[in-house]
Chain A
Amino acid sequence: MKKTGTADQPPTPPTPAAGPEAIKAIPVRHYGRYLSAAIALGAFAAIVYAFSQGKINWDAIPDYFFDDRILNGVGQTLLLTVLSMAIGVVGGILLAVMRLSKNPVTSSIAWFYIWFFRGTPVLVQLFVWFNLGLVFEYINLGPVYKDEWSSFMTPLLTALLGLGLNEAAYMAEICRAGLLSVDEGQTEASQALGMSHSKTLRRIVVPQAMRVIVPPTGNEVINMLKTTSLVAAVQFSELFRYAQDIGQTSGAPVEMYFLAAAWYLIMTSVLSVGQYYLERYYARGSSRTLPPTPLQKIRANVLSVGRPKGGMA
């Protein structure tokens, strides 16, 4: 915590009557930049040309881009991403707190959980959940619920458990790093005020840990969105599976992969923007001025065109 700002309203230094004359100099020419830009553009054009000449029926993509099944798949993908991340975040915070607890029982349980779920591939976990009926024939929650495992374990539930529980293990490590990043003085200060352990965590530590937790969590969301394509393997229909289905019936399988890729790119791009604003929110109080929003940045850039400032790379 560095000392910032001024003490108490310092007297403003006298300003010179007339501003100094601005320096007019020939800027350094960066010929390497022009050259590398030309090479990059050339390479890009070559790749685009190669694809356009390939045996790919590009017209099929716009035909199916807003197909009902595709849109439905996009919705399912988003739903699965949101729900599995919710399980992951809640589970992750819980596991991280357990892991850092003084109680050896809870911290060992958390350690074991993380060890298991991080140590096995998520695709394998999905298949295990799918076939768990071999172990448990019935699910029996006493008077509340009783059913055969196979009818209880719907594709959605399989996908949610597989993705969510796996994610919780990764989120636990992210949350743990975040909780540890908060200065110990913060815990001491809140304890000295008489705050309980859980209040200290909830009111003081977690909000500050969010600054460290949010950026990698944004990555996890984007990762999760892409990983949902794996659940096609356990009979859950989402974007990738619908795209495959359409590809098989319409005779344009590869084209549908491009279509799915485009949709995934659109969704991850939107998520990246959301992440930026979330990070900005949790930065409040840590820096004196918030970073500009992309809109503000664009506005500033547009206004400054024509009078470039020094040092613009």
Chain B
Amino acid sequence: MTAMVKAEGVHKSFGAAHILKGIDLEVAKGEVFCLIGPSGSGKSTFLRCINHLEQVSAGRLYVDGELVGYRQKGDKLYELKDSEVALKRRDIGMVFQRFNLFPHMTAMENVMEAPVQVRGESRAVARERAISLLDRVGLSDKAKNYPSQLSGGQQQRVAIARALAMEPKLMLFDEPTSALDPELVGDVLDVMRGLAEDGMTMIVVTHEMGFAREVGDALVFMDDGVVVESGHPRDVLTNPQHDRTKSFLSKVL
């Protein structure tokens, strides 16, 4: 079975800043893959490379066996057109730290937007699914509310529903609970746990070690643009091998 995501020596620089310095990893289908590490370690950048919000500078990155952002013909790489990139992004849902809901649309409209506009679904069909998705994240009573009328935790759950509306095969979570009040984190993690149980492939950049330990199938500790340590979350979190991992975990646990 091909890996859902496969990275081979992925580098990323912004001008002189070298953020990713050769990332190799594999995310299997149906896996919950957690990325942890100090801020500035490149976790979010790597996540954004997966749906080509950032362009990889060197190395190869594959999603479901296909190269991200390029087409390979012989030994030459061709940049994909914007429309081709957009086509691939349909299959990858992304949840942001700052939610990024569309503030001029209600929760319902946020969830319906992509199916209607991107896939050309009828509004009736999109509405049906939006209702069931909002129900799934426990917000069926907030369908008519605008994002500014929702709490952070509710906004993030709408954002998850919005990403799910495109029926993605892979979900990317970029610190989904970092901007939330502690008391609201649980609701969002519950939704994510439910997704994991349904077999969704998820890559989660997180500081929630409890979630990683309980739900994660694999975990990678990144620091300074490289993978320092990887393995099963229980092993890495309880019995870290590297000093860097140990000192990081001693601060966050």
Give the B-binding residues of A (Cβ under 8 A): 1, 3-8, 183, 185-186, 188-197, 199, 203-204, 207-208, 284-288
A186–B86 alpha-carbon span in the complex (Å)? 15
Given contacts A186-B100, A195-B117, contact A7 B153 (CB under 8 A): yes
- State the Cβ distance, A203 to closest chain B Cβ, in Å: 6
B166 engages A4 (CB within 8 Å): no
A194 interface neighbour in B102, B118, B153, Cβ under 8 Å: B118
Contact status of A285 and B103, CB under 8 A, knowing A185-B98, A193-B113, A199-B117: yes
Of B87, B118, B150, B187, most buried by chain A (CB within 10 Å of CB) is B118
8 pairs of residues in contact across A and B, judged by CB atoms under 8 Å:
A4-B149, A185-B100, A189-B101, A190-B102, A191-B86, A191-B89, A192-B163, A195-B117
Would you call B214 an interface residue if the criterion is a C-beta within 8 Å of the partner chain's C-beta atoms? no
Of the listed stretches B12-20, B22-30, B177-185, chain A binds B177-185
Determine if A285 and B105 form an interchain contact, defined as CB atoms under 8 angstroms apart. yes
1/0 per position for B81-114, CB-CB distance to A under 8 A? 0110011111011101011111111000000011
B48 smallest CB distance to A (angstroms): 8
Closest 6 CB pairs of A and B: A194-B90, A3-B152, A189-B100, A193-B114, A185-B100, A192-B94
Q: Which of A7, A183, A284 has a CB less than 8 Å from the CB of B151?
A: A7
Measured between alpha carbons, how far is A186 from B118 in the docked complex, in Å? 16
Q: A195-B118, A199-B117 are known contacts. Are A5 and B100 too (CB-CB below 8 A)? A: no
Residues in A with CB closer than 8 Å to B11 are none
Q: Which residues of B contact A189 (CB under 8 A)?
A: 94, 96, 100-102, 159
B102 engages A5 (CB within 8 Å): no
Q: Is the CB of B92 within 8 A of A192?
A: yes
| Alpha-carbon separation in the docked complex, A208 to B153 (Å) | 23
Kindly provide the distance from the CB of B209 to the nearest chain A CB, expressed in whole angstroms.
Answer: 23
Is A193 in contact with B98, judged by CB distance below 8 angstroms?
no
Q: How far is B232's CA from A179's CA once the two chains are assembled, in angstroms?
A: 45
B58 at the interface (CB under 8 A from A): no
Known: A183-B100, A194-B87. A4 touches B94 (CB 8 A): no
Residues of B within 8 A of A193 (CB): 89-90, 113-114, 118, 162-163, 166
The answer to whether B151 and A203 have CB atoms under 8 Å apart is no
Structural contact, B113 and A288, CB atoms closer than 8 A? no
Q: Are B82 and A5 in contact (CB under 8 A)?
A: no
What interface size band does chain B fall in? 35 or more
Chain B interface (Cβ < 8 Å from any Cβ of A): 51, 53, 82-83, 86-90, 92-94, 96, 98-105, 113-114, 117-118, 146-155, 159, 162-163, 166, 179-181, 183-184, 187
Q: Beyond the given A3-B155, A190-B102, A191-B53, could you list 10 further A-B residue pairs with CB under 8 A, ordered by the A residue number? A: A1-B99, A7-B151, A189-B94, A192-B93, A193-B118, A194-B89, A199-B118, A208-B103, A286-B103, A288-B149
Q: Tell me how far the C-beta of A234 lies from the nearest C-beta in chain B, rounded to whole angstroms.
A: 41
Q: From residue B202, how far is it (CB to closest CB) to chain A in Å?
A: 15
Within the complex, the shortest CB–CB distance from A282 to chain B, in Å, comes to 8
Output the least CB separation between A209 and chain B (Å): 10
Which of A4, A196, A208, A284 makes the CB contact (< 8 A) with B150? A4
Task: Judge whether B53 and A196 touch: CB under 8 Å.
Answer: no
B148 touches A288 (CB 8 A): yes
The answer for the CA separation of A285 and B150 in the assembled complex, in Å, is: 11
Partner of A1, one of B82, B98, B154: B98
Residues of B within 8 Å of A284, CB to CB, are 104, 146
Distance in Å: Cβ of B220 to nearest Cβ of chain A:
22
Partner of A195, one of B86, B103, B150, B159: B86
Which residues of chain B are near A285, meaning CB under 8 Å? Answer: 103-105, 146-148
A6, B103: Cβ atoms closer than 8 Å: no
Cβ–Cβ < 8 Å partners of B154 in chain A: 5
**CA A190 – CA B87 in complex, angstroms?**
13
Q: Are A188 and B100 in contact (CB under 8 A)?
A: yes
| Interface contact B83-A196, CB-CB below 8 Å | yes
A66 CB, nearest partner CB in chain B, Å: 43
Decide: B149 and A5 in contact? CB cutoff 8 A.
Answer: yes
Residues of chain A within 8 A of B82, CB atoms compared = 196-197
How many whole Å from A200's CB to the nearest CB in chain B?
9
- Chain A residues near B88 (CB-CB < 8 A): 194
Select the residue from B93, B102, B153, B179 with max chain A CB neighbours within 10 A.
B102
Q: State A1–B151 Cα separation when bound (angstroms).
A: 10
Q: Are B146 and A196 within 8 A (Cβ)? A: no
- CB pair A3 B146 closer than 8 Å: no
Least CB distance from A182 to B in Å reads 10
Shortest Cβ distance from residue A195 to the other chain B in the assembled complex, whole angstroms = 6
Whether B103 contacts A192 by the Cβ 8 Å rule is no
Give the shortest distance, in Å, between A33 (CB) and chain B (any CB): 37
Q: How far is the CB of B114 from chain A (nearest CB, A)?
A: 4
Docked-complex contact A1 and B114, CB < 8 angstroms = no
Q: By the criterion CB–CB under 8 Å, are A7 and B183 in contact? A: yes
Closest chain B residue, CB of each to CB of A204: B102
- Which residues does chain A contribute within 8 Å of B159, judged by CB atoms? 189
